[in-house]
Amino acid sequence: MDARQLIDGIVAGNRRALARAITFVENDTATGRAVMAGLYPRTGHAQTIGITGSAGVGKSTLTSVLAREQRARGRTVGIVAVDPSSPFSQGAILGDRIRMQALTGDGGVFLRSMASRGSLGGLSETTTGVVDVLDAAGYDIVLLETVGAGQDEVEVATATQTTVLVTAPAAGDDVQAMKAGLMEIAQVMVVNKSDIAGADTTVAQLRALLSLASGRAWEPPIVQTVARGGDGVGDLVDAIDSHQQHLRDSEHAADERRALVRSQIVSLARSTLQREALVMAERAGVLDELAAEVAERTKDPRTAAEALLVAMRKVGS
């Protein structure tokens, strides 16, 4: 299937075409870029929602019940679930379907697992593109579940409209650690596993932290859930809907959208630049020598990096 056929298939609701197109976009191939260029004008319909938080707080289970609640409200749901790639083999085990089995038989749900492929920030470089493809395919809701992320993996905020930060009780230290970074990008806070001891303390801590940043146009609500039993998930959907309404009503909506896509453009350009720079660094042919000098402590790493850049600029010009 070429790009035209894929686009036509997606518009016609063909799930096979959608799955193929996502692969090409994920692999950033020529076909993938052509599909993206053709589909992008069709984006903008979906509510895009990022689900992030530390490993083990229940992101997958919460994503699963959140999708079910959205389905119960008559909305179709696309899900992108990102798991980490091995830094050694670059392979990955993507296990999110295990906790989302209940969704597999539902024609109104499309679930795609992605590996982070060495990218930092809890997403892969092409995740934003995959969210856009699901949006263009007509899903009402697109959920993006990140790799377990603790502190400053804030890329999810530039990939989706509403960021949901999931925490769990007895993670007080995590909450402290999240004072900066993730805490600042979340529009909805979830205290999952709220049936275990310490949930009230966690809620109180979050409330105290949020109160430090007063005067914002949107005050992030705190929602308590027990994802396993589905408790509080209705409240979570209501909170997300409120934020989406806030985005629509905001007089700065157009400015905020421009700021969001601006960071997407910069991010994509940066990753390409980084790859090209690494090729250039190899071509400059001084890296081995510099590494030897730093290893011998006759040169410091900062000076060596400057020397590398000087050599790269000569190669590049």
Partner 1 sequence: MTSTDQKIRVLVAKPGLDGHDRGAKVIARALRDAGMEVIYTGIRQTPQMIAEAALQEDVDVVGLSILSGAHMELFPRVVAELQSREVDDVLLLCGGIIPEEDIPAVREMGFTGVFGPGSSTVDMIDFIRENLPDARREN
Q: Nearest distance from residue 149's CB to partner 1, in Å?
A: 20
How many whole angstroms separate alpha carbon 281 and alpha carbon 74?
53
Contacts of 202 by beta carbon, 8 Å cutoff, 6+ apart: 167, 168, 169, 170, 171, 172, 175, 191
The answer to whether the beta carbons of residues 85 and 91 sit under 8 Å apart is yes
Stretch that binds partner 1, among 90-98, 152-160, 176-184, 186-194 (CB under 8 A): 90-98
The answer to whether the beta carbons of residues 79 and 67 sit under 8 Å apart is yes
Amino acid identity for residue 284 in this structure: A
The answer to whether the beta carbons of residues 181 and 151 sit under 8 Å apart is yes
Between helix 287-295 and helix 253-284 the angle, nearest 10°, is: 90
β partners of residue 52:
165
Cβ distance to partner 1 smaller for residue 82 or 166:
82
- Indicate the Cα dihedral angle 125, 129, 131, 136, nearest 10°: 180
Stretch that binds partner 1, among 56-64, 91-99, 246-254, 284-292 (CB under 8 A): 91-99
Q: Nearest distance from residue 33's CB to partner 1, in Å?
A: 10
Interface residues for partner 1 in 218-277 (CB under 8 A)? 275
Q: Which whole-number Å values give the CA distances from 36 to 26, 40, 43, 150, 173, in the listed order?
A: 11, 6, 10, 31, 41
Contact between 41 and partner 1 (CB under 8 A)?
Answer: no
How many whole angstroms separate alpha carbon 313 and alpha carbon 284?
9
Q: What one-character DSSP code corresponds to residue 141?
A: E
Cβ distance to partner 1 smaller for residue 104 or 211:
104
- By rule CB under 8 A, what count of residues binds partner 1? 35
Residue of the chain from 4, 8, 13, 23 that contacts partner 1 (CB under 8 A): 23
How many whole angstroms separate alpha carbon 107 and alpha carbon 243?
27
The answer to whether the beta carbons of residues 117 and 77 sit under 8 Å apart is no
Cβ distance to partner 1 smaller for residue 275 or 313:
275
Interface residues for partner 1 in 274-303 (CB under 8 A)? 275
Contact between 98 and partner 1 (CB under 8 A)?
Answer: yes
Stretch that binds partner 1, among 88-96, 178-186, 200-208, 299-307 (CB under 8 A): 88-96
Stretch that binds partner 1, among 89-97, 166-174, 198-206, 235-243 (CB under 8 A): 89-97
Pairing between β-strand 141-145 and β-strand 109-115 as defined by DSSP bridges: unpaired
Cβ distance to partner 1 smaller for residue 8 or 306:
8
Cβ distance to partner 1 smaller for residue 134 or 171:
134
Residue of the chain from 6, 7, 24, 60 that contacts partner 1 (CB under 8 A): 24
Interface residues for partner 1 in 103-132 (CB under 8 A)? 104-105, 110-113, 115, 117-118
Interface residues for partner 1 in 3-22 (CB under 8 A)? 15-16, 19-20, 22
How many whole angstroms separate alpha carbon 146 and alpha carbon 142?
13
Contact between 91 and partner 1 (CB under 8 A)?
Answer: yes
β partners of residue 49:
143, 162
- Can you give the binding site for partner 1, defined by CB under 8 A? 15-16, 19-20, 22-24, 27, 29-32, 85-86, 88-95, 97-98, 101, 104-105, 110-113, 115, 117-118, 275
